[in-house]
Amino acid sequence: MPAWIESLVVAIAAFGVVFGTVVIIHELGHFWVARWLGVKIRAFSIGFGPVAVERTDKRGVKWRLSALPLGGYVMFATAQTPDNDTLYGPKGLYEEQSPLRRIAIASAGPLANILLSIGLLAILAMTAGEQRISPLPIVGYVAPESAADRAGLAEGDKILAIDGTPISAFDELRAIVAARPNEEVAFQVARAQGEESEFRIRIDVAEDPNAPGKVLGRLGVAPRSETYRVGPFTALFKGAQGAFLQFAATAEYLGRLLTGKAGIDGLAGPIGIAKISGDVARAGAQDSATLADGVIGVTVRLTELAAFLSIAVAFMNLLPLPMLDGGAILFYVAEMARGRPLNEQLRAGLERVSLVALLILAAIVTWGDIGRTFGS
């Protein structure tokens, strides 16, 4: 199979899993809360546009898979739809609900995405764990052709002393080496196999990245990283923390975008998300030595991507723009404050303007996605 076809298949499959999960959970949030509040639901669709597959359940809900994988929707019964009182009566119509109930329904999609992100990050914290740099002076990596590599140091070796001075932390090792460029230094080492050995190593000379023109010593080793797994309560805390930080980072990026301090190339549409999903899946597989490790690696990376994408979808939908959940919430809040709905013509006009703006943004983002995907 040609490489480009393989890449395309991987990207489409990964995109379907990641984006499909995020969209389904978002729409199920609207669906569950609306059903709980007694609103009649006419259709639940993944995708927009022409219906590719449709099945009607015993409640009369049409479950659809539509042609354009750009999102999804839940269609509620309104006074304008036929058979609006078949199952629930007039009280089941969406517009008959109080503004507070409609706010709950509109908020449920983004909230479901936030909860999904927290849940996925919590699962990762309990299973895959998180990588932490060990403070101990244990070699976790040896750079090829470095002083350490030439001397024969290996991963797992523990530095006990330098020129007879005992050390207990990797930072001590780093500081001593940095201060002795081009000097021969004696290292007392506990080998990974158990025996102790002494190495006399001439320290490499490297430019100080924080002080141009100055040099420092470099051994060519990095500390060991360790995997830490946590219990369910700590995992939930870490999941919430990770989701909050991602939400804040997204808000910060939007602020820089609106003030001209960031470019629109940081945004991605379905094509860009598909490419990222494929790249992440391939990276997870390539970093693994066995098939089982590859499956685990791909699962972990795609789960992490789904968690961050879910926050991005929640944030976008909470923007106070007509045609988005945030815009609907804003309309309902205004209705509560005024004691009556907004003028229909005004609302329709705002929704048309918002739709045009969103379509223009989608076109720009898609054009950028195409350039980055097929131009690279």
- Active-site annotation holder among 6, 27, 130, 145: 27
Q: With left for phi above 0 and alpha for psi between -120 and 50, is residue 145 left, alpha or beta?
A: left
By CB neighbour count within 10 A (0-12 exposed, 13-18 middle, 19+ buried), where does 106 fall?
A: buried
| Phi, psi for residue 236 in degrees, rounded to 5 | -65, -40
CA atoms of 102 and 95, how far apart (whole Å): 8
SS3 115: helix
Q: With left for phi above 0 and alpha for psi between -120 and 50, is residue 353 left, alpha or beta?
A: alpha
Sign of the four-CA dihedral 299, 303, 305, 309 = positive
CA atoms of 116 and 103, how far apart (whole Å): 20
CB contact at 8 A, 137 and 170 = yes
Active site residue 183: no
Order of strands, sheet of 196-202, starting from the edge strand that comes earlier in the sequence: 165-166, 158-162, 184-190, 196-202
Residues catalogued as catalytic: 27
